[in-house]
């Protein structure tokens, strides 16, 4: 009788909590599906074809020789160029050898023998010389990038095994959502914030469940991510408007204004904040949920308050390092820009309040607030679930392995 008295009501409580969690996730999933239908790309938006014109074909080539020559005098000084012979490996003139004349200055690439390069193939020049139709475009990077991708996949799978394979699948799905839904929908003139929210929700639901499975722990992580992402989006809207961020600070944005005038540039900034924050949020929420379950397994008799405090302590350390990572990641990516500001004698305040830097400050700080909020929200949800599970589980529960949490 005593055992039935303990397990009956507690079991109902556990089922009730998990049921509410499942209902909440179902609502998020339903809203995501509706958003996908409403905001789906139609392909009717202006892609800027009239402004950009038809893209020039790109062909591969290999450098046979590169000799320094004098291009001609500029004032009292001679100008030197690299007379470069290139064998074409693709395109209409495949197998032919062309000659490029590239200036030798700080802004020009330095080509060495056997370099694999990409050339822009324009209209054929007059006469028999095919060189007049080609311009250096870039270096070929497909092989080193493919090698690095394979190395990354091998390292991930070697450590995480089947979960690593699922994580790689989730990464591919995330890229597919961005390329197949987010970008085309924004180009169609849809609201970038709405598109980012729907796209992020889809990525979150598919990737987190794919990697971690359909379990209460995963559901808690999804809900914690949803709440924190909502807070991040709200703060982004408030402070992007308060700081009068226009989205016009970069050359790319100015070009988009001409080639794709239907795109809301301020909304594009907000969308970038939401999508960028999601990439770190799921890491924080999954870690917090895992910490709570591991603490519960290590101390079965610990109270919910004790588990919450210990998990929050773990979250503090995680957040402290993550916030610093966000700032350093921006500083590293924007080092040339920051050097230009320093060289121009701009003060830290002047540089920070310029829109091109201020946008990233808003992005970093808003994302940081969302990350901080994710810790107590997710931890509280996880403790509530694990406490109910403790009440109705048999005392013979085994400690889960690390790859099961």
Mean pLDDT by 10 residues, the chain (405 residues): 37 58 90 93 61 70 88 68 89 86 78 90 64 83 93 93 90 92 88 91 91 88 92 91 83 73 82 87 89 89 89 88 75 73 70 78 87 91 78 50 50
Work out the angle between the directed axes of helices 355-392 and 216-242 (0-180°, nearest 10): 150
Closest CA to 119 of 128, 103, 130, 129: 130
- pLDDT score of 9: 35
Alpha-carbon torsion angle 272, 275, 281, 283, nearest 10: -120
Integer Cα distance of 114 and 97 in angstroms? 13
Sign (positive or negative) of CA dihedral 115, 116, 119, 125: positive
Query: Measured in whole angstroms, how far is the alpha carbon of residue 9 from the centre of its chain?
Result: 45
- pLDDT score of 243: 87
- pLDDT score of 234: 92
Query: How many residues does this entry show for the chain?
Result: 405
- pLDDT score of 225: 92
- pLDDT score of 29: 93
Task: Give a three-class secondary structure readout of the chain.
Answer: CHHHHHHHHHHHHHHHHHHHHHHHHHHHHHHHHHHHHHCCCCCCCCCCHHHHCCCCCEEEEEEEEEEEEEEEEECCEEEEEEEEEEEECCCCCCCCEEEEEEECCCCCCCCCCCCEEEEEECCCCCCCCHHHHEEEEEECCHHHHHHHHHHHHHHHHHHHHHHHHHHHHHHHHHHHHHHHHHHHHHHCCCCHHHHHHHHHHHHHHHHHHHHHCCCHHHHHHHHHHHHHHHHHHHHHHHHHHHCCCCCCCCHHHHHHHHHCCCCCHHHHHHHHHHHHHHHHHHHHHHHHHHHHHHHHHHCCCCCHHHHHHHHHHHHHHHHHHHHHHHHHHHHHHCHHHHHHHHHCCCCHHHHHHCHHHHHHHHHHHHHHHHHHHHHHHHHHHHHHHHHHHHHHCCCCCCCCCHHHC
Strand partners, 85: 65, 99
The pTM (predicted TM-score) of the whole model is: 0.77
- pLDDT score of 44: 60
Integer Cα distance of 338 and 106 in angstroms? 20
Q: Could you give the domains of the chain?
A: 2-39+157-404 (no CATH), 55-139 (2.40.50)
- pLDDT score of 360: 83
């Amino acid at each position: 009788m005593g055992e039935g008295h303990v397990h009956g009501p507690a079991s109902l409580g556990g089922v009730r909590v998990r049921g509410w969690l499942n209902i909440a996730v179902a609502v998020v999933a339903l809203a995501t599906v509706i958003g996908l239908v409403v905001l789906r790309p139609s392909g009717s938006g202006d892609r800027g074809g009239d402004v950009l014109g038809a893209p020039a074909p790109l062909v591969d080539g290999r450098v046979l020789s590169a000799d320094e020559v004098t291009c001609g005098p500029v004032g009292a000084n001679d100008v030197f160029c690299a007379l470069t012979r290139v064998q074409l490996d693709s395109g209409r003139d495949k197998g032919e050898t062309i000659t490029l004349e590239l200036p030798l200055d700080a802004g020009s690439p330095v080509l060495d023998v056997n370099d694999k390069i990409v050339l822009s193939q324009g209209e054929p020049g007059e006469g028999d010389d095919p060189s007049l139709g080609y311009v250096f475009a870039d270096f070929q990077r497909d092989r080193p990038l493919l090698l690095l991708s394979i190395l990354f996949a091998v390292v991930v799978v070697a450590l995480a095994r089947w979960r690593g394979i699922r994580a790689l699948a989730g990464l591919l799905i995330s890229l597919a959502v961005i390329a197949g839904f987010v970008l085309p929908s924004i180009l169609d003139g849809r609201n970038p914030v709405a598109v980012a929210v729907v796209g992020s929700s889809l990525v979150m639901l598919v990737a987190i469940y794919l990697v971690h499975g359909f379990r209460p722990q995963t559901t808690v992580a999804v809900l914690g991510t949803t709440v924190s992402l909502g807070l991040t989006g709200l703060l982004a809207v408030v402070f992007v408007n308060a700081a009068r961020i226009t989205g016009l600070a970069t050359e790319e944005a100015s070009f988009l204004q001409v080639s794709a005038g239907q795109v809301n540039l301020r909304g594009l900034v907000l969308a970038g904040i939401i999508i960028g924050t999601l990439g770190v949020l799921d890491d924080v929420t999954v870690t917090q949920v895992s910490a709570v379950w591991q603490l519960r397994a290590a101390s079965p008799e610990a109270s919910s308050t004790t588990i919450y405090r210990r998990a929050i302590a773990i979250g503090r350390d995680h957040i402290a390092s993550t916030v610093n990572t966000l700032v350093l990641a921006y500083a590293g990516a924007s080092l040339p820009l920051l050097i230009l500001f320093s060289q121009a004698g701009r003060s830290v305040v002047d540089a920070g309040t310029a829109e091109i830097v201020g946008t990233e400050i808003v992005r970093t700080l808003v994302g940081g607030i969302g990350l901080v909020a994710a810790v107590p929200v997710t931890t509280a949800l996880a403790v509530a679930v694990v406490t109910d599970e403790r009440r109705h589980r048999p005392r013979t529960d085994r400690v889960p392995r690390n790859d099961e949490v």
